[in-house]
Each structure stands twice: as structure tokens, then as C-alpha cells.
Structure 1
Amino acid sequence: MDGLVLCEPTELYNILNQVTKLSRLTEPNYLCLLDVRTKREYDESHVITARRVKQEGKEYLTPESVDLECVKYCVVYDSNTSSLEIILEDNDDENSDNHNQGLVLGPAIECGRVLTHLTRRPVYILRGGYELFSAMYHFFRTQKIIWMPQELDAFQPYPVEIMPGRIYLGNFSQACDPKIQKDLKIKAHVNVSTEIGPFFVGDSDKLLHIQVEDSLEANISPFLRHLCHFIDIHLELDSVILVFSKLGISRSCAAIIAYLMHRHGQTLKRSWNYVKKCKGNMCPNRAFVNQLQLWEKIVLGDFVTDISDLLY
């Protein structure tokens, strides 16, 4: 459907957890998250920062405070819309024996079609709506309607999701946060930094510590086979894994990229672009990029990616 794009729950989760110096939710033109369910449903609980879309008759009223032309992400959700397909529904005609077929659109799609005329970017429709998202990320439910700027400044993003419900990518402070560990059901850690913390004390099987500096002299290559083996083993054990470094933008990102190349037998460029989409401020240093190129040759048998083409 023109102008509408289906948004997976993981995509919205990662959009909500992007960060620069502060959470990107502090930026007024970053995300417009719209809830088109009933007022009763919205008041009962909704996704954090979501605004309810009001209606006059059958007309959807967009929030006056939002300039959709400037918004990077406009995401709309209802209760459970699962696709962008138009549903054909049989309508009985009381005055005849004929059945007429009518077009039925979910509320999110109806609202989204209106919004496509107000923005130059695609409008995202959340697959599965609130029901699926809240089931996957119950800790992002809220009854809070108004978010003050200082509250958004204080918002602590969660690690981004690389493999839904299986692998997360974050920073040292997130790895030390017991609430995050509990909410995401983290069972194993890969610490790609020189920092140490109270992770699984006495249970070394659940912690892999790769002690490398984030410098142009650092060498992560000797650890990559062990890294991939550790993650493979824990995926087989159905453990949820958090890969992290001090800031979560260089060493841990390089480690995740290397693992995706190994797991899927894919190029550095493809793995790079995927992680970049999940974590917008990803920025492995140039030494790690060169080492990932060598890793690509080990995984694929040849150099495929021109690293000068990788977008920082």
C-alpha cells in the first residue's frame, strides 16, 4: 500500500532505544508514535511516549503539536493489525438475497493512509499492534500520557535487539542494571572491554570477557572464533545473550558484526548494514573494520566488501 510500511515489533523497540548523548526520544522530530485504539484501551495502558489519535466521526485528527513533514519516524498502531492487506468482508443486504463485499481496513491503516498525505517519509504500521508489542516488551507499557522534557532526558534506553529475544547489544551501564537483565531475561554476557563487573560471579560459563582496548592498536581477531562458539553454544541452550562494551558503539558492535558474518555466512557489508539499522550510533574504529575485512575472508574464502563503501 503506497506510503505505508509494516513495522516489526523489534524495529519499534530499537527505534525507542536509540541514543546519542541522550535518548533520541528527547528530539522533537525523531519519533511520532500514535495509538488509534479506544480511549479506554489507551488509558488502561499504551506504549511509552505514544499519543492517542482522536476522531471526529470517521475523521482522524492528527496531534496539532507535531509537524509530520519533519518527523523521522511516524509509527501508528491499533490493537492487532497484522498486515497491510485489505480484508474483504461479506455484508448482508437485508432487502435482497445478494451478499455485497466491502473493504475493511484496520484502524491503524485507515489512520496511516491519512498521514501519508502529511509527510514525505513512509508511515509505519506496527505489525501485531499493541497486543503483540506489549506481550514482547511488557516493560514498555505505561499509563503516562504527558512526558516532560526532563523526564525524556532521564529516560534510560535498553540494549538494542539484534536477534529477537535472543541477542542484545548494549553498553556497560546497561549490563550492570539488574532491571534490564530481568526484563530482557539475560542469561549470558559477552564483555568486550577492559571493564569488569559483577556478572555471574562464580559462573564463568555464562560470561565471556574479551579484554581489548578501543584503540587503533587493539586486535580483536584472535578472539573471534571463541566469541562465535560461545554465542552458538548459548543459543543452543536457549540463553538470552547481551554483548556489550563500555559505550556499546565500537568493540561490541565489531563483535556482533563478526558473529552475524559467521552465523549467516554473509558479507561484512550486509552484517554492517544490519547492525547499523539496529543501532544508529554504531561506530567500530578503523582497526576493527580492517580486522573484520580479514574475518570476511576467513568466513567466505575471499574479500568481498570494499570497506571504503561502509557508511559511518
Structure 2
Amino acid sequence: MANLVLCKPTELYNILNQSTKFSRLAEPNYLCLLGKFYARSKREYNEGHILTARKTKQDEDGNFLLPESIELDCVRYCVVYDGNTASLDSDSPAVECAKVMAKICHNPVTVLKGGYELFSANYHFFRSQKVFWMPQEIDDFQPYPIEIIPGLFYLGDQRQAWDRHIRKDLKIRAHVNVSLDQEKEHISEIHNELHVPVEDSCESDLLQYFFNSCQFIDAQMSQNSTVLVSSKLGISRSSTVVMAYLMYHKQYSLKEAWMHVLKCKPNMRPNRGFVMQLSEWENRVMGQQSTDVSDPNF
């Protein structure tokens, strides 16, 4: 029997937005998202639920039924939510449903903290009226940037940085563009941008830009401006700058910054040259190199 865990809205947001070349939502065994709204009718469910969520089903006695056509024992994430569950100690519909799912799942079953109410308040653009999603619609889903600091700091790729709808939904007001490509002209005038013209190569010197990048991000956040850091694929250069900022702003060690970003974006991967530069940055910021970058995990 799998364990039950509680997750914050930002964690579900990041689960929904993981991608490789395409959105991971297209993978059949990636996510099973189940919604059960406390004191909400079927009509209310159809009028608003979290994107791609299935409605939980119950038998005549009110017992929760396993979702059809899903191999729960193979699913990476099984997430259950209702209206506003805040604790695993409650007897809420989400917790009761999760207990049923846990009998089959191998991985932990997750209950969304705050339920639909909190998630939709933070991510209104992820509310949906669609009850049934065709495979092609899932294939065409365009992921949003990954959230590093809720509501303030995002990590993304070039497509996301240039997407007007994404920028509007996330209220992006500042952008650190870590690539050789300049910002598209038609949107460059609507936000503050710092261009870091570095190639994704082990020989590139990204370290020389860390301090200015961190100062720029700090200045924007001090004004409550939301910041997006992007590179072409959002995997190497941008994740490096994000970790450099976490070490600068939060005094994280390299290992702590690495684990934080890895949890948010499991496929992040700075090249080896950037890892060594982050190690040198740790020495400058912390006064010592406490992280062993010869560890294979780096």
C-alpha cells in the first residue's frame, strides 16, 4: 500500500508543466489527476476544474471507485483533490479517495493542499471546462515555465519567454535571457530584460555574469516584479543562473540549490563547465566550497 502525502499548489503546477521535447502529460503513465469537489454538483464540476482532471466516481454506497483505463500501479503521480482539504488527518473526500487509490498505487498518492479553491486562486489560467481530453489535445498542450519561488521566480525555455499569453498569465515583468538570441522585437518593450549572451558550451564563461544577474533579479523582486529566467531549452544555462541566484539570495549551498531546482524541474542539467563555475560561485558567496561536485549526482 502506498503512502499518502500532501502537496502544495506550486508542486502540482510544476507536475503539470514538466516536459522533454513534448509535455509529459502525453505520457500515459505520468499523471492521474482526480477531482472530487466537496458540496459541488456535477454542473459546477463541469464549469470549472483543474486542467486534465478526471472526476472521481462513487458507487451507490458512496465508496470511491478506481478510475477506468488507468494502470495505477504504473502511474508516476496520482494526485487527488477536492474543494479545500488542508490536512491528511481529515476525513475529507480527497483523503478518503486517496486511501482507495493507495491500495493499488506503488508510488505515493498525493492530496492537493487547499484543494481546488487554493489552486485555482493561484493559477486561474489552469482552470478548465473541458470534461474529456482527446489524445491530440494533450499532445498539443504547451507547458508553462517551472515555478522556482511561488508567484515570483520562474525557469523556462525560449518559446515560453516569447509567448504573450504565458507572460500575461504569470504576470512576468522582467526577463533574464541567457542565450545568444536577442529578445523578439515585438515584446521587448513591455518588460525589463537582461541579456546574458552565452553559448551552451563547457568552455563558456557564465560565471562572469552571475553577480549582475543576481543583482538584476533582486532589484526586480524587491519591487514585487515577477522574473523569468530562460535559455533556448530551459535546461542548462537558465538552470545555472537560477541556482546561482538561490545561492546568492537565500544563501543556499550548491547542493541545496541543486536539489531545490531538481525537485522543481527533474530534467534540468547544467553542462559540466557550468557546474564547476557554480562551485566557484559557492566559494565566493559562502566563503567555502561545501559541495563536492565530483559526486556523480552533479
Asked whether the two chains share a fold, i.e. TM above 0.5, the reply is yes
Which amino acid letter does the alignment assign opposite residue 135 of structure 2? Answer: P
**Residue deviations 1:59-79, cap 9 Å, x none?**
001112111110000000000
Q: Hey, what does 1:51 align to over in structure 2?
A: 54
Q: 1:113 is aligned with what amino acid?
A: K
Q: Distance in 2 between matches of 1:46 and 1:203?
A: 32
Conservation of the 8 A alpha-carbon contact between 1:269 and 1:310: no
Shift of 1:203: 7.3
2:177–2:183 CA contact under 8 A, matched in 1: no
Q: Over residues 131-176 of structure 1, what are the superposed CA-to-partner deviations in whole Å (9 max), with x where a residue is unaligned?
A: 1111111111111122122111111000010000000110111111
The answer to whether the 8 Å contact 2:214/2:245 transfers is yes
Q: Distance in 1 between matches of 2:117 and 2:232?
A: 34
- Determine the C-alpha separation between the residues in 1 that align with 2:56 and 2:113: 18
Q: Is 55-64 or 172-181 further displaced after alignment? A: 55-64
- Secondary structure at the aligned position of 1:270 is classed as helix
The secondary structure found in structure 2 opposite 1:152 is helix
Displacement of 1:310: 5.3
- Cα distance in 1 for residues equivalent to 2:127 and 2:121: 10
- 2:25 is the counterpart of 1:39: no
**1:73 corresponds to which residue?**
77
Distance 1:248 1:195 in 2: 14
List aligned pairs for 1:87-98, cutoff 5 A: none
Identity rate of aligned residues, in percent?
55
TM-score for both structures, normalised by structure 1: 0.91
Aligned amino acid, residue 24 of structure 2: R
In the alignment, what sits opposite 2:30? 30
Aligned twin of 2:278: 292
Q: What is the distance in 2 between the residues matched to 1:208 and 1:310?
A: 33
The one-letter code sitting in structure 2 at the alignment partner of 1:235 is M
Runs of 4+ in 1 over 6 A off after TM superposition: none
**Deviation sequence 1:35-71 (CA, Å, 0-9, x none):** 0124233211111110001111220011121111100
Match in the other structure for 1:228: 214
Which of 156, 168, 174 is residue 182 of structure 1 equivalent to?
A: 168
SS at match of 2:74: coil
CA distance in 2, matches of 1:144, 1:44: 8
Measure the CA separation in 2 of the matches of 1:271 and 1:281: 15
Equivalent residue pairs, number: 292
Structure 1: distance between partners of 2:296 and 2:93: 39
Quote the Cα distance in structure 2 between the aligned partners of 1:170 and 1:272.
Answer: 16
Q: CA deviation at 1:21?
A: 1.1
Amino acid at match of 1:119: C
What aligned pairs does 1:160-309 form with structure 2 within 5 A after superposition?
160-198=146-184, 201=188, 206-309=192-295
CA contact (8 A) 2:148 2:154 kept: yes
Cα distance in 2 for residues equivalent to 1:165 and 1:220: 26
The whole-number CA distance in structure 1 between the counterparts of 2:96 and 2:233 is 41
Question: TM-score, structure 2 length as denominator?
Answer: 0.95
CA distance in structure 1 between the aligned counterparts of 2:93 and 2:190, rounded to whole angstroms: 49
2:75 maps to a residue whose letter is: V
SS of the equivalent of 1:40 reads helix
Name the CA distance, whole Å, in 2 between partners of 1:298 and 1:158: 33
- Measured against aligned partners, the alpha-carbon deviations of 1:180-222 in whole angstroms (never above 9, x if no partner) come to 0100000000001111123664578x11111100011101111
Structure 2 partner of 1:100: none
Residue 107 (structure 1) aligns with: 93
Q: What residue identity is the alignment partner of 2:54?
A: R
2:6 is the alignment partner of 1:20: no
CA–CA separation in structure 2 for the residues paired with 1:31 and 1:310: 29
1:1-49, CA deviations, whole angstroms, 9 ceiling, x for partnerless residues?
x811111000000000000111000000000000012423321111111
Give 3-state SS (helix, strand or coil) of 1:170's partner: strand
What amino acid does structure 2 have at the position aligned with 1:50? A
Work out the CA distance in 2 between the residues paired with 1:11 and 1:186.
19
- Greater CA deviation, 138-147 or 236-245? 138-147
Q: In the aligned structure 1, how far is the partner of 2:190 from the partner of 2:234?
A: 23
How much is the aligned-residue C-alpha RMSD, in angstroms? 1.4
Q: Which runs of 5+ in 1 are unaligned?
A: 87-104
Q: Which of 98, 116, 124 is the matching residue for 1:138?
A: 124
Query: Retained in 1: the 8 A contact 2:16–2:25?
Result: yes
Farther off after superposition, 271-280 or 32-41: 32-41
Q: Which residue of 2 aligns with 1:83?
A: 87
Are the counterparts in 2 of residues 78 and 130 from structure 1 also a CA contact under 8 Å? Answer: yes
* Alpha-carbon distance in 2 for matches of 1:202, 1:247: 23
Q: Name the residue aligned to 2:110.
A: 124
Residues 1:156 and 2:142 aligned together = yes
Match of 1:61 in 2: 65
